[in-house]
C-alpha cells in the first residue's frame, strides 16, 4: 500500500475497537462523533495532500528501508533537506486545517527511537534497533498514524517515578514474562491518540537505576486489550453538537487530547524497544523533545498564517484596514510568525547525522525555536483579538441570525462595511474566537506554552547547549587574557 488514500484511512479507523470515554459516556463510534470528527478530518488531510501531485515533494519521501514512496510522516530524516521539508510540510498543513493535524508527534517519536535504539544496541549489546526497524517497515507499508506517547501524569513533581505514592503515575513494567512484558500506568495530553492506528510509548524524563522499571519504550495497537482513553475537554467543544456552521468557528477541522490508560497491557518482546536501560531514557527524551520543538516552527506558523489572515479580514469588514495602527499590528503579527518559522528552518538546516544515519536537528536552535513559540503566539493572538474587537465574544448565536423574527435585527445591527454580508463578518470573528479562545486554542495558544515541554524545559536545554565556556574563551582571546 505505502500511501493510504483519505478514504482508506477513515475506513481503517472504523475497524478499530477503541474504548473511548467522552463526557462520562462510552463512545460507540468515535469516527462519526460530532466532537471527535473534526480532529479526524485534520489527520485525514495528511493523507489527502499526500495524494496531490502539487504537494508530493513535501508530503512524501522515499523510504531508506524499501525505496518506496511513503508519507513523510512515516519517514526517518536522511538529510538536513528532509528536516527542512518537514517544517515546510507542517506549515502547509497548518494553513490548510488551522488546527492540529496530530501526526507530528509520531514522526518525531520514530526518529528519536531509531537513533537511540541503535546507540543502545551498540553500547549494551541489546537487539532493540532491529525490532524497531521491523515495526517501522510495517508502519511505512501500511501508512499508519502512530501516536508518540511521552508525557506521564507525574504526580508529585518533586519525587522520582519509583518514589511516587502511586506507582502508576508513570508507565512502568509490572511483570516480565518469557513472551513479553505487562505494563500499567497512563500517558496524559495524548494528541491524536483516538485517530491513531498504533501508539509508540517512551519514558518522560531521565532516570536513575532505581527507576529501571519505568525506563520502558514499546509500541502497541491503539485498541490493544487493556488500553482505554478519556477524551479531554476543550473550550466551546459542545458547539460542535449544535449542528451549525458559524458558531463553531472551524467546522471542518480540529484537534484533540486524551488520557491514555494502560490497565495491565501485555506487550510481546518484538514490540519492546527499551526495558530497564535507564541510562538511555534521558537520551530518548532529549531527542524526541528536540524534534518536537522543531515541529512547532512549522505547524504553529501555518495556523498563525490563518489567524493573521482572519485578523486582516476582520479589519476589512470593520472598515478599519487603512488605519495606521491596524497596519502596524498586522506587520508585527507577521514579523513574529516569520521569526518562529526562521527558527524552525534554522535548526533544520543545521541538522546532522546520528550514528544510525538518521538526521537530528541542532538541539540548541530547536529549543530556542520552542522558547519563542511559548511567547509569540500569545502576542499574535492578543493582536488578533485587538483588531477583531469585542464583538468577537459578545455576538449573538447563529440561531439568532437565522431566527424568523430577530434575524433581521441581528443582520441590521451587526453589519460592518455595507458591502460585506453580516454573516461573513460573524464567520470571521468566530474563526478568530476559535483560534484564540475556543477548541483550536488548545492546538495553538495553550499548546504553544506546554506542548513539547514547558518553557522551563527549553531554558534548561538552552543552558546545557549554550556552551558558555566556549564563549568565555572567545571573549578572553579578544580581550587579550591568557
> Is 296 in the active site?
yes
CA-to-CA dists, residue 17 to 14, 44, 47, 180, 208, angstroms: 8, 19, 22, 23, 37
Active site residue 47: no
The active-site residue, picked from 128, 278, 296, 444, is: 296
For 432, half-sphere exposure in the C-beta direction (CA atoms, 13 angstrom radius) is 29
Which residue of the set 299, 343, 347, 369 is catalytic? 299
Annotated catalytic residue: which of 100, 219, 343, 347? 100
Residues annotated within a binding site = 191
Longest CA–CA span in the chain (Å) reads: 85
Q: DSSP per residue over 236-274, as a string? A: TGGGGGS--SSTTS-SS-----EEEEEEEEEEEGGGEEE
Q: Which of 219, 292, 359, 433 is catalytic?
A: 292
Binding residue numbers for FAD? 191
Helix (H) or strand (E) holding 93: helix 80-97
CA torsion, ordered 285, 286, 288, 292, to nearest 10 deg: 130
| Contacts of residue 230, Cβ cutoff 8 Å, sequence gap at least 6 | 20, 21, 22, 258, 259, 261
292 a catalytic residue: yes
- Of 104, 184, 219, 343, the catalytic one is 104
HSE of 164, CA atoms in CB hemisphere, 13 A: 19
Cell numbers representing residue 195 in the block: 485517530
The contacts of residue 280 (CB under 8 Å, 6+ apart) are: 116, 119, 120, 215, 274
257 is catalytic: yes
d(CA 144, CA 46): 11
- Decide if 394 is catalytic: no
Give the angle subtended at the CA of 101 by the CAs of 142 and 29, to the nearest 5°.
70
| Structure-block grid coordinates of residue 7 | 478514504
How long is the chain?
482
Identified catalytic residue from 117, 126, 151, 191? 191
Active-site residue, from 10, 257, 277, 398: 257
Distance of CA 290 to the CA centre of its chain: 13
Is 358 considered catalytic here? no
Asked whether 452 and 289 are in contact (CB, 8 A), the reply is yes
Give yes or no: 385 in active site: no
Nearest-angstrom CA–CA distance, 452 and 240: 28
Q: Is 100 a catalytic residue?
A: yes
User: What is the CB-side half-sphere exposure of residue 103 using CA atoms within 13 A?
Assistant: 27
- Tell me the catalytic residues: 100, 104, 191, 257, 292, 296, 299, 447
Amino acid at each position: 500500500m505505502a500511501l493510504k488514500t483519505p478514504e482508506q484511512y477513515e475506513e481503517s479507523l472504523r475497524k478499530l475497537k477503541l474504548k473511548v470515554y467522552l463526557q462520562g459516556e462510552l463512545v460507540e463510534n468515535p469516527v462519526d462523533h460530532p466532537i471527535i470528527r473534526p480532529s479526524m478530518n485534520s489527520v485525514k488531510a495528511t493523507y489527502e495532500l499526500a495524494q496531490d501531485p502539487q504537494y508530493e515533494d513535501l508530503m512524501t519521501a522515499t523510504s531508506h528501508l524499501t525505496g518506496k514512496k511513503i508519507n513523510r510522516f512515516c519517514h526517518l530524516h536522511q538529510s538536513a533537506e528532509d528536516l527542512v521539508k518537514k517544517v515546510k510540510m507542517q506549515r502547509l498543513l497548518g494553513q490548510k486545517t488551522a488546527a492540529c493535524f496530530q501526526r507530528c508527534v509520531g514522526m518525531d517519536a520514530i526518529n528519536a527511537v531509531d537513533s537511540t535504539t541503535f546507540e543502545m544496541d551498540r553500547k549494551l549489546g541489546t537487539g532493540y534497533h532491529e525490532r524497531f526497524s521491523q515495526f517501522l517497515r510495517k508502519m511505512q507499508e501500511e501508512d499508519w498514524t502512530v501516536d508518540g506517547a511521552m508525557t506521564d501524569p507525574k504526580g508529585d513533581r518533586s519525587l522520582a517515578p519509583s518514589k511516587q505514592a502511586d506507582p502508576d503515575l508513570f508507565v512502568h513494567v509490572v511483570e516480565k514474562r518469557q513472551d513479553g512484558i505487562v505494563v500499567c500506568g497512563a500517558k496524559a495530553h495524548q494528541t491524536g491518540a483516538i485517530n491513531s492506528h498504533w501508539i509508540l510509548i517512551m519514558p518522560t524524563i531521565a532516570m536513575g537505576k532505581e527507576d529501571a522499571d519505568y525506563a520502558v519504550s514499546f509500541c502497541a495497537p491503539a485498541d490493544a486489550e487493556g488500553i482505554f482513553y478519556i477524551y479531554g475537554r476543550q473550550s466551546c467543544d459542545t458547539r460542535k453538537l449544535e449542528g451549525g456552521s458559524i458558531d463553531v468557528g472551524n467546522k471542518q477541522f480540529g484537534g484533540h487530547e486524551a488520557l491514555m490508560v494502560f490497565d495491565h497491557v501485555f506487550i510481546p518482546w518484538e514490540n519492546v524497544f527499551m526495558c530497564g536501560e535507564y541510562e538511555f531514557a534521558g537520551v530518548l527524551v532529549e531527542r524526541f523533545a528536540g524534534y518536537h520543538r522543531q515541529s512547532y516552527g512549522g505547524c504553529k506558523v501555518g495556523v498563525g498564517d490563518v489567524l493573521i489572515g482572519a485578523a486582516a479580514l476582520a479589519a476589512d469588514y470593520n472598515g478599519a484596514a487603512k488605519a495606521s495602527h491596524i497596519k502596524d499590528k498586522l506587520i508585527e503579527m507577521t514579523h513574529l510568525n516569520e521569526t518562529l518559522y526562521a527558527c524552525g528552518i534554522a535548526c533544520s538546516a543545521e541538522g546532522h547525522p546520528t550514528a544510525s544515519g538518521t538526521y537530528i536537528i541542532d538541539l540548541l536552535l530547536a529549543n530556542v525555536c520552542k522558547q519563542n513559540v511559548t511567547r509569540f503566539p500569545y502576542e499574535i493572538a492578543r493582536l488578533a483579538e485587538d483588531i477583531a474587537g469585542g464583538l468577537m465574544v459578545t455576538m449573538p448565536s447563529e440561531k439568532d441570525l437565522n431566527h424568523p423574527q430577530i434575524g433581521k435585527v441581528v443582520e441590521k445591527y451587526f453589519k460592518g462595511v455595507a458591502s460585506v454580508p453580516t454573516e461573513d463578518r460573524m464567520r470571521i470573528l468566530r474563526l478568530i474566537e476559535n483560534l484564540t479562545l475556543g477548541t483550536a486554542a488548545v492546538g495553538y495558544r495553550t499548546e504553544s506554552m506546554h506542548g513539547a515541554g514547558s518553557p522551563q524545559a527549553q531554558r534548561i536545554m538552552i543552558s546545557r547547549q549554550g556552551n558558555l565556556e566556549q564563549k568565555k574563551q572567545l571573549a578572553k582571546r579578544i580581550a587579550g587574557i591568557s
